[in-house]
Amino acid sequence: EAGVTQFPSHSVIEKGQTVTLRCDPISGHDNLYWYRRVMGKEIKFLLHFVKESKQDESGMPNNRFLAERTGGTYSTLKVQPAELEDSGVYFCASSQDWRATYEQYFGPGTRLTVT
C-alpha cells in the first residue's frame, strides 16, 4: 500500500511569489493534516481536514496560506505571497480516523526555501 506522498520534494522561490504544495494521503484515509517545521523550531500543526471539510485550521499562520481538499482526496496548500519566514519543511499526514488511537502517517515533506 502506498504511503502519504507529497509534491514537490523541494521548492525554491523568491519572496512575493506563489507556491502550491500537494499532498496525496493514504487511500481511504478521510483525515488529512498539514504541519510545518521552520528552522530550529518544533513541528507545528497547521490544519486538519475530515474529507473535504476543514475541521480545525487554528494553526494556519495568516491569510497568505490557503488549504484545500476538493473531493476529499488530495490536498493543496498554497502560500501567496511567500515571505522569508515561510521557509521550512511542510509535512502532510493522514489517518483512518480522527481519534488519537489511530496513527497519523506522515509524508516525506516538502522543503520550501524562500529567498
Partner 1 sequence: RKEVEQDPGPFNVPEGATVAFNCTYSNSASQSFFWYRQDCRKEPKLLMSVYSSGNEDGRFTAQLNRASQYISLLIRDSKLSDSATYLCVVSPFSGGYNKLIFGAGTRLAVHP
* Closest listed residue to residue 113, CA positions, set 42, 9, 25: 9
Residue in 11, 109, 112, 114 binding partner 1, rule: CB under 8 A: 109
Shortest CB 81 distance to partner 1, Å? 27
Q: Given the rule CB under 8 A, which of 21-29, 34-42, 63-71, 79-87 is the region that contacts partner 1? A: 34-42
Query: What length does the chain have?
Result: 115
Q: Please name the residue that has the C-alpha cell 502560500.
A: 79
Residue in 56, 61, 72, 78 binding partner 1, rule: CB under 8 A: 56
Query: With binding defined as CB under 8 A, does residue 100 bind partner 1?
Result: yes
Q: Please name the residue that has the C-alpha cell 475541521.
A: 55
Query: With binding defined as CB under 8 A, does residue 98 bind partner 1?
Result: yes
Q: Please name the residue that has the C-alpha cell 490544519.
A: 47
Shortest CB 4 distance to partner 1, Å? 8
Query: With binding defined as CB under 8 A, does residue 65 bind partner 1?
Result: no
Residue type, 61: P
* Closest listed residue to residue 62, CA positions, set 34, 86, 35, 87: 86
Query: With binding defined as CB under 8 A, does residue 45 bind partner 1?
Result: yes
SS3 80: coil
Query: With binding defined as CB under 8 A, does residue 90 bind partner 1?
Result: no
